[in-house]
Amino acid sequence: MKFTPPTALVPMLISVMPLFAGEPPIAIYGGANGQTQERAAEVGVDIFYPSVTWYEPQPWLARVTADAHAKGIKVYPSLASAYDGYQDKHHDFAAAHPEFWEQRKDGTVLNSGECVNLSWGHPEVRKYKVEQFTQFVRDTGVDGILLDYTRFFANDSGYSPVIVDAFKKKFGKDPFNLPTDDPRWVQFRADFVTEFLRELRASLDTLGRKVELIACVGPNPQETLRNSLQDWATWLDQRLIDGVTVMIYERDTNNTIAQLQDAKAAIKGRMPLISMIAPEYDNLPTPDLIREGSRKSLQAGADGVGYYHEGSVIRLQLWDAIRDVAHWNVDDIRLQPIDYLLNSGFERGLENWAIGYGNGVKIVPAGGDSTAGHAIQLDLPNSDGLRQVIDRGIISEGSAVRVTGKARLESTEPAELFVDITIAFHKARELNYRVPV
């Protein structure tokens, strides 16, 4: 019988250079609700990311910002930069200039449905957005902007005549004859978004105070450039932004580590990195899973943690867990070994655990006390195997693996208990280890 102890740990120590000492900055996607503000201030939230439709007046946001500032909380409204409408609704500038709509390679005009945007290639479009953003910041007193959707809608977009003609003029090639991910064609389109950032940065600098731009990006800058024409590596190099928020909405917290390590490697300590994780969509819907995602985020190199979004935090009663994270010491957390076991507290039953046919395997309160967590109980004798499949993030150069745990035997039958560790490398090379218990 194979038995993986319920408290098994597979740790790896990570060396990082944090931008923040002591407690991590904590962000909530939301913060417009008065009760949310009170609770957030109580548990130690530092940042609100309220989502707004930027092309409509937002007179309420000035009051929300003033209230948050009184509680010591900064406000960075999330502005979906690429959106110029939704379905058949457009802002006045877009409605007045149908000649500025963006197009896909297949000729689809992006003026209806879920992806509605004017072309970044038109200077008039960028000028309009820069003016709107600047006025928005001036009127509301916010600390900065969370730049969301500051990109194209996939790499088959950006085929408006203004961009296509400019590419033909510069390179003498028709982009319709190139793959959508042709590197030169990708970079050419991405440069128009970067130009918008450059123009926005210059405009905000005229306001007489520091206004921070936080980029909401995918974790791997090469993939983001290729897939959505968002060149945030260049934004970093040119100091057009002041921070990076990576939205990671998933259940697999080990994949969260891998993604954040990509982002951290690109940032190279030049500015703060916030990991935005989500209880939304049943990803991390319990206090323990939120703590797990937060801990792994910090251990992977994130400087702070954000939570999407306030509605889920309230509905799932996660405020106390967020309070715990807000008062962690980042250095202490990073010195702790990473627990790569997914669902190690059995918050979702036996999800992520392979148990053969499941005979004689069940989850019970640890030590008979439900407040002490849960453990796996195996009825002996039993020939079923139990294992957790960990498919990423464990072994890297210079690291080590340690498995610890305990088993309580209540049967008089002889039992053989052992742990198998299988480490699969690329190129089909596989090494197997057996660790006696």
Minimal CA–CA distance to 323: which of 277, 279, 291?
291
User: Residue range 105-112: average pLDDT?
Assistant: 97
Report pLDDT digits (tens) over 267-286. 999 999 999 999 988 899 99
Residue 150 has pLDDT above 60, yes or no: yes
- The pLDDT of residue 107: 97
Tokens of 386: 């139990």
Kindly report which listed range (30-34, 63-67, 106-110, 320-324) carries the lowest average pLDDT score: 30-34
- The pLDDT of residue 426: 54
Kindly report which listed range (115-119, 138-142, 243-247, 376-380) carries the lowest average pLDDT score: 376-380
- The pLDDT of residue 7: 34
User: Cα(240)–Cα(286) distance, rounded to whole angstroms?
Assistant: 37
Assessment of whether the complete model's pTM goes beyond 0.75: yes
Query: What is the residue type of 378?
Result: L
Residue 156 pLDDT class (50, 70, 90 cuts) = very high
Q: Of the segments 29-33, 314-318, 339-343, which one has the largest average pLDDT value?
A: 314-318
User: Residue range 214-229: average pLDDT?
Assistant: 97
Domain ranges of the chain: 26-335, 353-436
User: Residue range 342-346: average pLDDT?
Assistant: 87
Report pLDDT digits (tens) over 353-380. 877 777 788 888 887 665 668 888 877 6
Distances (CA, A) of 414 to 320, 376, 380: 44, 19, 9
User: Residue range 220-228: average pLDDT?
Assistant: 97
- The pLDDT of residue 348: 87
User: Residue range 97-101: average pLDDT?
Assistant: 97
Residue 3 has pLDDT above 50, yes or no: no
User: Residue range 75-91: average pLDDT?
Assistant: 95
Q: Is 182 exposed, middle or buried (0-12, 13-18, 19+ CB in 10 A)?
A: middle
Minimal CA–CA distance to 110: which of 78, 184, 178, 120?
120
Residue 428 has pLDDT above 60, yes or no: no
User: Cα(207)–Cα(175) distance, rounded to whole angstroms?
Assistant: 40
Kindly report which listed range (148-162, 255-269, 321-335, 404-418) carries the lowest average pLDDT score: 404-418
- The pLDDT of residue 13: 27
Mean pLDDT rounded to a whole number for the chain:
87
- The pLDDT of residue 313: 96
Residue 204 has pLDDT above 90, yes or no: yes
- The pLDDT of residue 21: 53
CATH fourth-level superfamily of 26-335: Glycosidases (3.20.20.80)
- The pLDDT of residue 11: 30
Residue 6 pLDDT class (50, 70, 90 cuts) = very low
Residue 337 has pLDDT above 80, yes or no: yes
